[in-house]
Amino acid sequence: MTTKILKYIAKGSLCCGLAMTLTSCNDFLTIYPTDRIVGDDFWKTKADVEQMVDGCYQSMLSYSIQERAIMWGAFRSDELVKLADYNDNTLDNIAAVNLLPTNRYNKWEAFYKVINNCNIVLNHAEAVMVEDPEFTNGDYQVVRAQMLALRSLCYFYLVRAFRDVPYTDRSYEDDSQVETLEQSTPEEVLQHCLDDLQEARPYIMRSGAYGQYDWRNKGYMTRDAVDALMADIYLWRAAMSHNSSDYQQAIVHADSVINAKHAFYEQYKEFDITETKKDIYHLEEGQTAFVVIFNTNQGNSHESILEWQYNGRDNSNQALENYYYQSGNESSYSSNSMLMASPIFNSVDVNANTDQGQKVYLSKNDYRFWNNVYDANNEEAQQLSVRKMVDATGGLVSTTNTVGVAKTNSRAFREFRQNWIVYRLTDVMLMKAEALVETANTDSTNLRKAFDLVQVVNKRSMLKTANDTLKFESFKSKDDLELLVMAERERELCFEGKRWWDLMRYCYRHMEGVDTRQKLADQAAWPELYKPMLEMVIRKYGSGGEGDAVSYKMKGEPYLYWPIEESEIKVNPQLKQNPVYIQEKTTSKN
């Protein structure tokens, strides 16, 4: 594989981490390293290594990364729309699938900063064992495992957003290191990630190993986080390549998470979570789940696997605040957020759990209908404010309400203490359900297993006296179960940066002619997108013509991805732009 590097090292990006009071690091286009971090006076002690590791995690808290978790993973889907009176041409263009190369959301350097930070630690940490006897080989193996895992997570974000991306495992620490790197295919990058995660898995700390209530159990990469990430990558690669063995591996790693969570529960019996202790999931009760999992004063619930840690003082989740709560700055800000929940979250149907998942209708007996957005069931509301990860009151919502909770701006501005959940247990349970459905061709019992998983997730959020809970006989085929899993993931994981990736996997599963070993720019034609997926995407546009225009424009595979930011192409001539943003080509391989 060709190894040439476009330098993405923030002068001061590691310094931001070392300060450990990160609010946001400045974004740079072409950024050069500082010798201060890698000089002879550093990398002497165990504390130096620990400080650098913490700096890598701190750099994941940057505004740019949180912003892209929302924009890349959620906004392009059917769950979010721009606030009607918010003036932003860039968001308008994205909604219209005019993904211009000059778009600010195309920038990827925040992730490459973290990748390079991880590579620097991997390059220097081993030598510290000679300098400091207290830094043992066991300590080094844990550090190495964490950096391999965190780097893999960053590359996975990049592959899902851009498909063909530069890959390097080298660290760039000196201004004389001027190289460029060409893109690698998804096949290459994802295999690197899986190899690194497999290497990291035996050495990385098990969840709970830091102590029962230590934030690092959820704030650092752990065994559970590695297994969740591996399940996610295998699920993604299986969707692109239609490889049944990858689905089987997704199931294996999802089971590892589920079993580890159960073992942890058994270890600490004082957790009184479910009515009975017969199940192995031990999910929070539906009436209190919203408060325990998402409320600002909680965080790191027992269901959580990996969360980026914000305390509102040393760091503030400003991107989530701007996009979901209120936007602006200290001197002038709006009481509204930049993004709003789409109209589908105000749609209720008595057949919500029996329509084979073809709609994202919610039942009035579902606590999530009332909790996920403000003003649920308000017929006059054209757009709904996101409540999940925003509401700070901790109040419980009754399913007997006429109209849901009204939004209040009760949080202190720029002190937005709200963790961002990367993975949690129900996410992994539904990953397993998705993989089980896709392996049902060889084992029909897998459909029932998949349904049972979905039912556990769904039932915990339903009013106990409800008569519209899921019933297996309502779902007659593999296609029915596939759509049910999709619908339940939307009900459970909306606004958490998951939906666009879910839609992409759904699309890929029904596409023919995808070649993950070849770059988009090197292909003469691309497979068409799956029309039912596009029909889901355009639901948020309502009955106007905008949705039809979006569906018409999104003809082939390249439209699933973002273009590379224009200035990146200028500084690195080896990069090849997403071809549909250069010229139109024939999209059908059939």
555 against 348, higher pLDDT:
555
Share of the chain above pLDDT 90, in %: 64
* Cα torsion angle, 349, 538, 426, 405, sign: negative
pLDDT at 174 over 70: yes
In the three-class reduction of DSSP (H, G, I as helix; E, B as strand; rest coil), residue 306 is classed as: strand
DSSP label at 244?
H
Average the pLDDT over each of 48-57, 144-153, 207-216, 414-423 and give the range with the smallest value. Answer: 207-216
Give residue 58's pLDDT. 95
pLDDT at 38 over 90: no
Q: Indicate the pLDDT class of residue 93, thresholds 50, 70 and 90.
A: very high
Give residue 270's pLDDT. 47
- Mean pLDDT for the stretch of residues 229-243: 98
Give residue 379's pLDDT. 81
Give residue 278's pLDDT. 66
* Degrees, nearest 5: CA angle 87-91-93: 110
Unique residue bearing structure tokens 């300060």: 19
Share of the chain above pLDDT 70, in %: 83
On whether the CB atoms of residues 302 and 273 are closer than 8 A, the answer is: yes
In one-letter notation, the amino acid at residue 445 is T
First to last CA, the chain: 31
In the three-class reduction of DSSP (H, G, I as helix; E, B as strand; rest coil), residue 498 is classed as: coil
Nearest to 469 by CA among 363, 344, 345: 363
Residues 6+ apart with CB under 8 A from 172: 5, 7, 8, 9, 33, 116, 119
Alpha helices in 132-222, H assignment, sequence order: 137-162, 186-200, 216-219
pLDDT at 285 over 70: yes
φ/ψ of 279, rounded to 5, equals -80, 165
φ/ψ of 6, rounded to 5, equals -90, 120
Q: What is the distance between the alpha carbons of residues 307 and 134, in angstroms, rounded to a whole number?
A: 29
DSSP label at 45?
S
pLDDT in tens, 39-48: 667 899 999 9
CA 323 to chain CA mean position, Å: 16
Average the pLDDT over each of 342-356, 359-373, 572-586 and give the range with the smallest value. Answer: 342-356
Residues 6+ apart with CB under 8 A from 56: 17, 114, 117, 118, 121, 147, 150
On whether the CB atoms of residues 573 and 181 are closer than 8 A, the answer is: no
Any idea how long the chain is?
590
| Average pLDDT in the chain | 86
Query: And the tokens for 439?
Result: 């392996």
DSSP label at 508?
H
Unique residue bearing structure tokens 């049972």: 452
This model's pTM is above 0.75: yes
pLDDT at 111 over 80: yes
Residues 6+ apart with CB under 8 A from 439: 244, 247, 248, 251, 446
Q: What is the distance between the alpha carbons of residues 124 and 128, in angstroms, rounded to a whole number?
A: 7
pLDDT at 69 over 70: yes
DSSP letters along 218-238, please?
HHS--HHHHHHHHHHHHHHHH
Q: What is the distance between the alpha carbons of residues 254 and 248, in angstroms, rounded to a whole number?
A: 10
Give residue 310's pLDDT. 93
- Mean pLDDT for the stretch of residues 111-126: 96
CA 110 to chain CA mean position, Å: 15
Query: And the tokens for 445?
Result: 């019992």
φ/ψ of 512, rounded to 5, equals -115, 145
Q: What is the distance between the alpha carbons of residues 105 and 563, in angstroms, rounded to a whole number?
A: 9
On whether the CB atoms of residues 493 and 426 are closer than 8 A, the answer is: yes
Query: And the tokens for 183?
Result: 């893109």
Q: What is the distance between the alpha carbons of residues 416 and 412, in angstroms, rounded to a whole number?
A: 7
**187-226: buried (b, 16+ CB within 10 Å) or exposed (e) per residue?**
ebbbebbbebbeebbebbbebbebeeeeebbbbbbbbbbb
Nearest to 217 by CA among 230, 203, 204: 204
pLDDT at 358 over 60: no
Average the pLDDT over each of 93-107, 124-138, 531-545 and give the range with the smallest value. Answer: 531-545
CA 565 to chain CA mean position, Å: 21
